[in-house]
Chains A and B, each alone.
Chain A
C-alpha cells in the first residue's frame, strides 16, 4: 500500500537519513524502532509532509507523492499521531477533530454535522467517555490521544503513523490503546508504530524495521525475531550488563533524609529514610502518589503534616528553593516543561540552578561546567547548542548536570528514563549508580519495573497515597505488583470509568 524508497534527508549538512526504504501493507502494524537520533522521527516527518526529503520517493497505492505541507499528506490519506498532541486545549472535541477540514453548508461551518460525525466516529471505536462538545483540556491524556486518533480517522486515512503513542499513558490505558490499534488494523488501516517499548512492539506488530544512525539495519517479521535480537540491532552491541551492580553493604552510609508521618492532601503517613550511597526505588501504579511524594520532598507541593530531617537537621521544605538550599534535587518526569529552558543553551541550562540559588558559594565557572557535562557524558554539538535540539536522553543528562552543579546530597528521580533511548538509558543508569557510590542518597520513581528492580537497593511500594510495603533488592515484579494492587480488588467505582467532561 505504502512504499518509501531511498529516502535521504540532511539538515544543515548533517545527514539524518541515508537511503531509507520502508513498506506498509493494509491491516498491518509495522513497528519502527531505533535509538533516539536514529532517524525515526525524521522519517516520520518526511512521510507526514513536515519535511521534504532530499531524495527518495513516497508511493501510496501506486501514486508517487511529494509532500511539502502536512495538509497534502493528510489529503493523500496519511495521518499522524504525534508525541506532542496537535490539539487545541480550548476548543471542543468536534472542532479539533475537523480542524483544517470543517464541513460547510452555505459557506458556513456546519457545526451540527461536525458534531454528529464526531459522535459517529467515537462510537465506531467504542469510545463512550467523550462527547463532541467536551473541551479538550477537560480530557485525560489518554482520551486526548483518542481524540487525535479520531481526528486522523475523520480524514479517511489509510496509513496511520503513531509516534511513541504509549509514552504518556498509564498501564491500563496502554491495554486500551492496544485494543484500539487492533480494531483499526482490522478495518484495513496500515499502522506505522514507533516505540521504545519492545513489549508493545512484539505484542502488536507484524514486522519490525530497525533504524540506526539514519540507516535501515533490518526489516524482519516480528514472529521470526526476539527482543534481544532487536536490541542488538538497535545498539549494535549486546546489552547484557544492563544495570550496574548494586551497592555493597559497606557502601551504604549515614542517614541523609528522614520523613516521619509526612502527609498532604495527596499522600499520607509517609515514613521514609534515605541513606548516603543507597538507591531507593518507589514503585506504584499511576496515581498512587509517587510523584506527589517526590514533589513533597522537594517542597513543590509540600508536606502539611509530619516531620522531615535533611542531613540530621529538621527541615520540612515549603518551597523548592528551601529544598535546593538543603541539598535536595528533583529530576522531574517532564523535563521539557519542568526541567529545561528549551531555547537556552546547554551551558545556560547547566547553570540554571546555581545561578538562581547559590548553594555552595559562587556559581561554577565555565571549566567546571564543561567538566560536569563530560561527567554526565553529554553528547551535544557544543555547549552553545539549544537544549531543544538535543535528544531526550541528552536533555535528561543536562537536567542531571544542572543539579550536580548545585552539589546536592539527595537526588530524587521521577521517571528518569522516560522517552530515552536504550543506549542513553544505560548511561543514565550507570551515572545514577556512580553518584550513589559517591555518597549521594538517591530515590528513583519508575513505572518500568525491570528498571526499578535493576537499579534499587530497596523498593518501597506506594498505593493510594501511602507507602504500603518495603521490599529488598531483587524483589520480583509479582511481589511488587501484589503490594501495589492490594486493596484495589474490591468493587470500587474506578474513577477511570467516569465520563470525563460529559456535561
Chain B
C-alpha cells in the first residue's frame, strides 16, 4: 500500500482516496529481461568470449571462413527451430521433426533420382503438409496432448523409415546440391534460404491475423476462443507451418548430403535441439510469448558455442555440459522478474508515522 501524502491531486476536485494499490504489485512494475535483446546480447558475448579463448590458444576465431561456417551450421537447426517456434508460440509442440527430416531427405533424394527436382521439392512439401496436418488434427481433434501426439507421430515415421530404408538412398543431382554448397559472395545460399523462411515466419506471426491468433491461442486458449478465435484451426495451421519449415530443412540437408539418409534428422537430434533453441530464444514453452527473432538468436548462440568447442577440440561430453548449463541459465534468467519501483510518483509506504 502506497500512500501519497505530499503530492497534490493531479486533476479535478479532491477525490476521496478510497483505493490503493493492493498487495498484488501494482506499486511495482514487473519487467523481465527482454529475451530477444537478451539472447542477441548473449550471442555477442559468446562470440567475443570465443574469440578471446580461441585467440589465447593461438587460433583465429573471427575469420571469414569461420564466420561463414558458423552461419552455414545455423541453417538446418535454424529452419527447424523457426518452425518449432510457430507451434510452441501456439501452445503446442512438435517432437516429430527429426524423423520428418530423415524421411524428407529420403523422399527428396529418391524422387530426384527418378523424377525431376521440382517434383521432389513438391513431394517433400506435400509430405510436410500432410504430417503437420495430421499432427495438428490429432492435437485439436482427438485432444491428445501435443507431446504425446507428436511423439507418436515420431514413432510412426521412425517405423516407416526403418522398415523401408537401411542406409542412404536416392541421389541428389548436382544442380540441386548447389543449394547446399553455392555461395553468393562469401555467404552460402542456404543462409538466404534461412533468412527468407525466418522473415516469412516473422511476417506471419507478427503481421497477420493468423499470427495474432497463434499468440492468443498460446497465451490463453480459453480467452482466445471466447474472443471468437478459431483456436483449433490456428493450432493445425501452426503445425502445418512448422512441418513446412522442417521440409525446407530436409531439402537443404538432402542437398548437403547428396542423398537421403535415415539418420539425417535424428543424428543431430533436431527435435530436442530445436526446442532448446526456441526456449533459449525466450519463447515461453507454454506459448503466447516470444518469437522468431529470439529463436534465431538462440540458434546462433548454439552454433557459435559449437564452433568454439570445435576449434578448441573440446571433449564432446564437456561440450554438452556447457550447452546444458547455458540453456538452463538462460531460461532461469528469463523467468526471474526484475522488480523495479514505479517512477517516484507514489512513495513507498512511509514508515515514519
Contacts and interface: CB of A to CB of B under 8 A. Distances in A.
Interface of A: 48, 50, 69-71, 74-75, 80, 82, 85-91, 95-96, 99-102, 104, 107-109, 111, 137-138, 140, 151, 170-173, 265-268, 285-289, 291-292, 295, 301, 464-465, 485, 488-498, 500
A100 B21 contact: no
Given A86-B226, A101-B228, A465-B349, A492 B23 contact: no
B20 A287 contact: yes
Contacts, number: 171
B26 A140 contact: yes
User: 8 closest Cβ contacts across the A-B interface?
Assistant: A287-B20, A71-B228, A493-B7, A100-B228, A86-B223, A491-B14, A172-B18, A86-B226
Interface stretch (B117-125, B208-216, B248-256, B265-273): B208-216
A267 B1 CA distance: 8
Contact of A498 (B10, B22, B224, B227): B10
Interface in B121-141: none
Given A285-B19, A493-B4, 18 more contacts: A48-B226, A70-B228, A96-B227, A99-B212, A99-B223, A100-B213, A108-B208, A109-B211, A171-B18, A171-B19, A172-B19, A265-B348, A287-B1, A301-B23, A489-B16, A495-B20, A496-B17, A496-B20
Contacts of B222: 86
Contact of B220 (A88, A95, A488): A88
Nearest to B204: A108
B15 to A, nearest CB: 5
A80 B19 CA distance: 27
B3 interface: yes
B305 to A, nearest CB: 29
B15 A497 contact: yes
Contact of A493 (B10, B219, B229): B10
B8 A488 contact: no
Contacts of B346: 493, 495, 498
B45 interface: no
Nearest to B29: A138
B19 A287 contact: yes
Contacts of B349: 265-266, 268, 465
A464 B7 contact: no
B57 interface: no
User: Secondary structure of the A side of the interface?
Assistant: loop
Interface in B182-228: 203, 207-209, 211-213, 215-216, 219-220, 222-228
Contacts of A86: 220, 222-224, 226-227
A108 B207 contact: yes
Interface residues of B, number: 52
Given A71-B228, A291-B23, A492-B9, A109 B208 contact: yes
Nearest to B203: A108
A102 B16 contact: no
A493 B1 contact: no
Given A107-B208, A108-B203, A288-B1, A89 B219 contact: yes
A173 B18 CA distance: 9
7 contacts: A74-B228, A86-B227, A87-B223, A100-B227, A109-B211, A489-B16, A496-B19
A287 B211 CA distance: 39
Given A90-B219, A170-B18, A295 B23 contact: yes
B16 to A, nearest CB: 6
Nearest to B348: A265
B184 to A, nearest CB: 28
B9 A491 contact: yes
B288 interface: yes
Contacts of A50: 226
B289 interface: yes
A88 B223 contact: yes
